Amino acid sequence: MNDELEIVREFLKERLSIDPARIVSEAKLEELDIDSLMLLELFFELEEKLDVNLSQDLPTPKTIGQMIEIVRGLKNAPRAG
Amino acid sequence: MKRRVAITGVGLVSPFGGDREDFFAHMLAGESCVRHYTTDDKPRPLSMPAVRCDRFDADAVLGKALSSTMDRYAQLGFAAAREAWGDAGFNATDRSEKNDCGVSWGTALGGTLAYERGYRDLWQNGRERVSPLSVVLGMNNAASAHMAIQFGLGNSCLSYTVACSSASAAIGEAYRRIAAGDAEMMLTGGSDDPLCYGVARAWEALRVIAPGDADNSVRACRPFSADRAGLVLGEGAAALVLEEWEHAVKRGATILAELAGYGATSDHSHLVKPDVRGQVRAIEMALADASLAPGDIDYVNAHGTATAEGDPAEIAALRHVFGAAAAGLPVSGTKSMHGHMMGATGAVEAVITVMALQQDALPPTAHVETIDPACTGVRHILGGALRGTGARVALSNSFAFGGSNAVLAIRNDRLPA
């Protein structure tokens, strides 16, 4: 999950000044103050950087690891037109 | 019975970069913050006089986490509101529930930059999607929502979009909520950023923007002048804390002034041509609401945009209401110095009016050498501040496109009559 994790670390460092060392697989989104809006932004950032297209009805992850697994599972899916 | 309303805090984001005392000192000195503004936008860069708060660094002032969830108008507004909230003696980090206190905010345009960024992405940059924050950045109630969330204001969260009267309407309606007993306190004011490319071009297309270049933009806005040439767009924000009088006294708040009356009327006649009768009714309504007679008024902060049609109509309205006494009525158009901040401008001018009464110093209309014969009949303050008149009661006028008029009556009885 290195690519995805680095994207998330870089985004959260820039936006929320969160130490990248805290962004690990088991870290809980709630404890990182990542609310539903921030989660949307994170998914958007991952879509942009990885050139993937996530569906509208994504499950709501509770941890960094769950979020990255969702993205990885769709990473090779073709982008919608 | 109507309850009295105190003003217990004020704040603004100064285009000069300093605090509000510094801003007001510039106003008294007749010094303009209008500068020549250029961009590299395609297909034709902007080149016009404008007022910008270019020293306002939202990330530094608000913190990156908060500022990145706000468009420019909300950033400016929140900064002004936080200053006013602190000025009223409250802790801006206290988010505990305050259900007797609400927000009433004015903005003519809302999050213009968020929408424009989206359009550019879609149509200029060939992207398929826009930022997921676009809606919450762009919505017209974003600024008020942020204030309610950050300060725990549970009474009401209202936004008023009434073009150039937005802030004055927001302040007046907030005043009414307190006067009627619906709230004990209201955080109010307005903010706007009309300098995004599309909005600035839209105003330009109306042919009401004053021309100017690097050499003369500073004096581009000349309300009531025979050679006036139009308005100057500006970004800005100002805020006031309104409070039920006894509530303020009981908690030992410093009362800066009384918001004594408010008049709001509709011209119901034309989208852009002002109607003197509608303005007269608004002024008379504010006077009646404050139990004041025309002779009680010591100063008028005019709407004074420096347009061909607007300025004579406003002076005609003042002449009508004040009659023979109009000739001695001190009037100034401070937009000559701070430009037209759209939905923020009524709040900026209300703060100027509060400070003018506090300091017994009335700011001038700057850059005017000869008053237009159609704008005579009042005592235009020209050439410098008018000090030591003992001014106690003032009006702040806002007359908007669409025929929406809002007039605030502000009094400060601590000065000797």
**Domain definitions of chain B by residue range:** 5-250, 261-411
Over residues B213-244, the pLDDT tens digits come to: 999 999 999 999 999 999 999 999 999 999 99
B64: chain A residues, CB-CB within 8 Å: 14-17
Chain A residues whose C-beta is within 8 A of a chain B C-beta are 14-17, 33, 37, 40-41, 43-44, 47
By C-alpha distance, the chain B residue nearest A79 is B128
- Stretch A39-53: mean pLDDT, rounded? 89
| Average pLDDT in chain B | 97
Does position A59 have pLDDT exceeding 90, yes or no? no
Across A8-12, B353-357, B411-415, least confident range? B411-415
Which of A14, A33, A40 faces B132 most closely, judged by CB atoms? A40
Query: What ipTM, to 2 d.p.?
Result: 0.83
Does position B417 have pLDDT exceeding 50, yes or no? no
Over residues B249-268, the pLDDT tens digits come to: 999 999 999 999 999 999 99
- Stretch B15-24: mean pLDDT, rounded? 98
- If one compares A50 and B147, the residue with the highest pLDDT of the two is B147
pLDDT at A78: 53
Domains B5-250 and B261-411 share a fold: yes
- Stretch B282-308: mean pLDDT, rounded? 98
Active site residues of B: 164, 303, 340
User: Are A41 and B131 inside 8 Å of each other by CB?
Assistant: yes
Does position B86 have pLDDT exceeding 50, yes or no? yes
Q: What percentage of chain B reaches a pLDDT higher than 90? A: 97
By C-alpha distance, the chain B residue nearest A42 is B132
Q: Which residues contact B167 (CB under 8 A, 6 or more apart)?
A: B106, B160, B189, B190, B238, B343, B344, B345, B346, B347, B348, B350, B398
Over residues A19-32, the pLDDT tens digits come to: 999 999 999 999 99
Over residues B39-65, the pLDDT tens digits come to: 999 889 999 999 999 999 999 999 999
Which of B64, B129, B133 faces A37 most closely, judged by CB atoms? B133
- If one compares B340 and A53, the residue with the highest pLDDT of the two is B340
pLDDT confidence band for A77 (50 / 70 / 90): low
pLDDT at A79: 52
Say which CATH architecture domain B261-411 belongs to.
Answer: 3-Layer(aba) Sandwich (3.40)
CA-based nearest distance B112→chain A, Å:
20
pLDDT confidence band for A61 (50 / 70 / 90): very high
pLDDT confidence band for A81 (50 / 70 / 90): very low
- Stretch A64-78: mean pLDDT, rounded? 80
Classify domain B5-250 by CATH number: 3.40.47.10
Which of B64, B131, B136 faces A44 most closely, judged by CB atoms? B131
What is the third-level CATH fold of A2-74? 1.10.1200
